[in-house]
Amino acid sequence: MPDVASTKIPVTVLTGYLGAGKTTLLNRILSEPHGKKYAVVVNEFGEIGIDNDLVVGADEEVFEMNNGCICCTVRGDLIRIIDGLLRRKNDFDGIIIETTGLADPAPVAQTFFVDETVGAKTSLDAVVTVADAKWLKDRLKDAPEAKSQIAFADVILLNKTDLVTETELKDVEMRIRAINPFARIHRTQRSEIAIDKVLGQGAFDLDRIQAIDPDFLEGGHRHFHDEDMRSYSFSSDKPLDPDTFFPWIQNLTQTEGPNILRSKGILAFKDDPERFVFQGVHMILDGDHQRPWRADEPKLSRIVFIGRQLDAAALEKGFLGCVA
């Protein structure tokens, strides 16, 4: 129901390791003359230089849901804050949530799928991660949070590109690609970027999953010894059996959910004229029929996982075992 989805308030999650340029980006978004007004959930007051009565402080209260989902943590403070903000929903066009530099984006994202009220009235638009071009490689080695933020991102601002050489930039981009092949990477300086490249991305909107671009996936096949976090993609041109696929993916996310940060797929089922698309955050999966396959389009099923310490051979075997 796209007409219902479009009336939901979009929420952008802004992450990035300490000092990467997150607050600079936030201040840019708030100060540019785009005619839109955003409610902002921040961790620390005072960093934002803009006078805005819709800036709310968060308490970063992460808690586990008692729903048998072991990795299902949500942000209780966000549920309350969004509940409160929705009472003056005519005052703003979107919500931006800034997380701390050390935050794991998963509980923030999961909040939008687990809480019914929040999910009914808002939609997660994208996770935007600001990364420091000079220091990201080091952080990927020593800071698991930085790795999660890259793995989780839909949009990555590779910032402070003026402090590195082109070779270094290419190298860090390759590292990013190895972890996360589907994020859009933008090279920036002082977090300078057109706002439409950050907001209104619809990254979690099933209707907007167009393709899982094979070019992007190349990086996924590279192997870095220091990367326990990486992406895995598999495809098949033979139609899948939904009666095998769904139990498999459900079992997989139940057992490997803590290690799978994001997943995404476009699937061709046997005797089914429509594309089935899904996306997931840890154990939470969201999927639906999207549209009929076009005549000029190869009926290729493709699935991508971003995670840590995943057994690639077992994943491939499991996926290919779903061929009808």
Return residues touching other proteins (CB under 8 A): 45, 53, 56, 59, 61, 63-67, 74, 76-77, 79-80, 84-85, 87-88, 90, 115-117
Name the pairing type of β-strands 122-132 and 155-159: parallel
Identity at 286, one-letter amino acid code: D
Q: Least Å distance between CB 204 and other proteins? A: 21
Q: Least Å distance between CB 39 and other proteins? A: 10
Q: Contact at 8 Å (CB) between 146 and 110?
A: no
**Helix spans in the chain (H):** 2-5, 22-31, 76-85, 105-114, 116-121, 136-142, 144-152, 166-179, 214-217, 242-256, 312-320
Q: Contact at 8 Å (CB) between 98 and 16?
A: no
Q: CB-wise, 87 or 294, nearer to other proteins?
A: 87
Q: Least Å distance between CB 223 and other proteins? A: 41
Q: CB-wise, 77 or 125, nearer to other proteins?
A: 77
Q: Least Å distance between CB 61 and other proteins? A: 5
Q: CB-wise, 65 or 143, nearer to other proteins?
A: 65
Q: CB-wise, 45 or 313, nearer to other proteins?
A: 45
Name the pairing type of β-strands 260-268 and 274-281: antiparallel
Identity at 85, one-letter amino acid code: L
Q: CB-wise, 76 or 287, nearer to other proteins?
A: 76
The residue length of the chain stands at 324
Q: Least Å distance between CB 92 and other proteins? A: 11
Please give the distance of CA 59 from its chain centroid, rounded to a whole number.
22
Q: CB-wise, 88 or 222, nearer to other proteins?
A: 88
Question: Pick from 283, 320, 245: which is nearest to 65 by CA?
Answer: 283
Q: Least Å distance between CB 182 and other proteins? A: 31
Please give the distance of CA 241 from its chain centroid, rounded to a whole number.
28
Phi-psi region of 60 (alpha: psi -120 to 50; beta: other; left: phi over 0): left
Q: CB-wise, 64 or 162, nearer to other proteins?
A: 64
Q: Least Å distance between CB 75 and other proteins? A: 10
Q: Distance between CA atoms of 34 and 199, rounded to whole angstroms?
A: 11
